[in-house]
Amino acid sequence: MREQQTSSAATAPSEFTGFELAESCALYEVFESLTEQLIAFSNQPRFGDAGLGLLEDISEDFAKRSRLLAAHIKATRPADRTERGLRAKVILRDAMLDTDDLSEIAAIAAVLAAPERH
């Protein structure tokens, strides 16, 4: 049983496509830049409890966005490199960068993840 877990864990990274890796890196760069800005903001002399609350809210927002993106990647999984799957990921990524409304992002992800009708 333990051998099966070890072997499946060893093969998991190969399931991560180049497109997903590039997309994750781009999203990480956005998060990293924002984190640097938040650290600079937190070092301001007037930063107090309200600032800590803001940082907590932003951290929760990042976590929600990350979960939505992960769910979307799993739902569309363009291993076959379909044009629809690739386009869906770009649309969702752009939505995540353009809006702060998580319900809107979730709605877009749900529509994009729905099976294609012929």
The reported pTM is 0.35
Is residue 67 assigned to a domain? yes
Nearest to 22 by CA among 93, 95, 113, 102: 93
- Residue 58 contacts by C-beta under 8 Å, 6 or more apart in sequence? 34, 38
Provide mean pLDDT across the span 54-78.
69
* Residue 69 placed within a domain: yes
Our count of domains for the chain comes to 1
Which position has the token pair 């997309």?
23
Q: How far apart are CA 32 and CA 36, in angstroms?
A: 6
Highest mean pLDDT among 14-18, 58-62, 94-98, 105-109: 58-62
Token pair, residue 23, equals 């997309």
58 inside domain: yes
Range of the domain at 76: 30-113
**Is 92 among the domain residues?**
yes
The two structure tokens encoding residue 29 = 């760069």
DSSP state at residue 12: G
Is residue 101 situated within a structural domain?
Answer: yes
Q: Who has greater pLDDT, 69 or 78?
A: 69
